[in-house]
Amino acid sequence: MAELTSELTKGLLEQIASFERELKAVEVGTVEEVGDGIARVAGLDHIRASELVQFENGVMGMVFNLEADNVGVIIMGDYTEIREGDEVRGTDRVISVPVGEGLVGRVVDALGRPIDGKGPIRSAEYLPVEQMAPGVIDRRNVDRPLQTGIRAIDAMFAIGRGQRELIIGDRQTGKTAIALDAIINQKDENVISIYVAIGQKRAQVARVVATLEEHGAMDSTIVVVASASDPAALQYIAPYSGTAMGEYFMAKGGDALIVYDDLSKHAWAYRQVSLLMRRPPGREAYPGDVFYLHSRLLERSAQMSTERGGGSLTALPIIETLLGDVSAYVPTNVISITDGQIFLETDLFYAGVRPAINTGISVSRVGGDAQRPILRKIAGRLKLDMAQFRSLAAFAQFGSDLDKGTQQQLDRGMRLQELLKQPQYQPTPLGDQVALLVAGTRGKLDHVPVAQVKDWEERFLIFFHTNQPDFEQIVVAADYKLTDEIDKVLVETIDAFNETWARTTEPAAAQA
């Protein structure tokens, strides 16, 4: 026992003798003014923009303004306990968030801290929330499709991996529903999804998480939350944090999809902190760099070149309009940055056309390159036909004397409109989309009453899956091209079903 004690004593003495105290200089400042979620701090002469600082009570802040005699700090937490005269220490770390596989399936705040009660996040890597967008040489053409499972979008406004497609419309028109459908459709596509909730109620975010879990999509999704009750600073940082998480997978050669819900509230949060910091206001009280706010965010979404791993980050930003005004300040800014927009119309939504996509204003500036060849071949004229149908339908309300060609176009348009309607959270596989679009665009539905189109669709898909169980594999084997063999199979299957459909509906028609 004495020998053991002697060895322990000897070891301790050796450690004490070899101990060297490490001196680290830490810049300390003093709070001069605090209130409304911001603080002015003097004494931090060597601090950097966007650097994290820590207040005396442990609350973190981010350097936002660099001025001659003080720095403006936006506080990322409860500022009510911070007082004038409190010490503020620099951390020598630009604001960054954890990234990696450990975040997948988790709900985190804007700083990457878990808020789902599932314990700490295992992540050994951090990335700055603000990074330079990839350069022109590092990118390549967007030519790989990102299937959303939404017929109207995949057929008319196809989205490619690395594209930025804006979802825009008034409140309660189904913007979030489209984004969630796209996320749900990625669960088997080897795509990591990031959903960034900005300024939403926590109850609404909880419903989104529950929906993703119910449909099995949460296992491949990261949810970043800066709710309405969080400080404006966190709402401002949240989309950049989510983008950094997506860039990690893009840099590894993978594919990621990020949804910003929504950038209108993000612009409001930025306007709030900017006005509190006394930055000069411009149009609608937004600061002059509000365009740069979103351009430096959305430009980080890209399809990387083969030399850079070939990964992609696809962005679906959401913007809320007021009374359908797409010419307002923030909507026009984001429209000019993105590669197209899907405009959701209130009148269509209340008329039961869901998703309520206005085919006249909506566009995808990349979709043709990224669309599956089989869909491009079948639905090539669909967008134009649907836009013409909407115009004719509005015109036909004012008169009843229509020529035969116009009436025929209206009748087919009504059936196509029914075919493009789709229940929420039920993405349609590519094979089913192809079969339904062939039936609609080639007049195979012209004999079906408009009110019975959905019933026809439901029964046809059962018949189609029974008779052509391997159709999806056949399309993949044909490199997603519409071959003569595939075309023949589709037409024969539709005609065969229409014969059975005619026999089952004749008795009902006779009774009526």
Q: Which residues are catalytic?
A: 365
How many H helices and E strands in the chain?
A: 17, 16
Whether the Cβ atoms of residue 29 and residue 44 lie closer than 8 Å to each other: yes
The first and second tokens of residue 234, run together, are: 């966190």
Whether the Cβ atoms of residue 177 and residue 211 lie closer than 8 Å to each other: no
Whether the Cβ atoms of residue 54 and residue 92 lie closer than 8 Å to each other: no
Cβ neighbors of 363 (< 8 A, separation 6 or more) are 157, 340, 341
Whether the Cβ atoms of residue 315 and residue 247 lie closer than 8 Å to each other: no
Which single residue is written with the structure tokens 């065969």? 496
Question: Is there a cis peptide before residue 262, judged by omega within 30 degrees of 0?
Answer: yes
Which single residue is written with the structure tokens 């002697």? 6
| Amino acid occupying residue 178 | I
Whether the Cβ atoms of residue 233 and residue 109 lie closer than 8 Å to each other: no
Whether the Cβ atoms of residue 374 and residue 438 lie closer than 8 Å to each other: no
Closest CA to 300 of 129, 141, 93: 129
Cβ neighbors of 507 (< 8 A, separation 6 or more) are none
Closest CA to 439 of 383, 496, 387, 481: 496
Residue 169 falls in which region: left (phi positive, over 0), alpha (psi -120 to 50) or beta? left
The contacts found for 461-468 with CB under 8 angstroms, 24 or more apart, are 461/432, 461/435, 461/436, 463/493, 463/496, 463/497, 463/500, 464/432, 464/435, 464/493, 464/497, 467/493, 467/496, 468/493
* CB count in 10 Å sphere of residue 464: 21
The first and second tokens of residue 370, run together, are: 């990224």
Whether the Cβ atoms of residue 357 and residue 385 lie closer than 8 Å to each other: no
DSSP string for 138-195 = TB----SB---S-HHHHHHS--BTT-B-EEEESTTSSHHHHHHHHHHHTTTTTEEEEE
17-49: burial string, b at 16+ Cβ within 10 Å, e else: eeeeeeeeeeeebebeebeebbbbbebbeebee
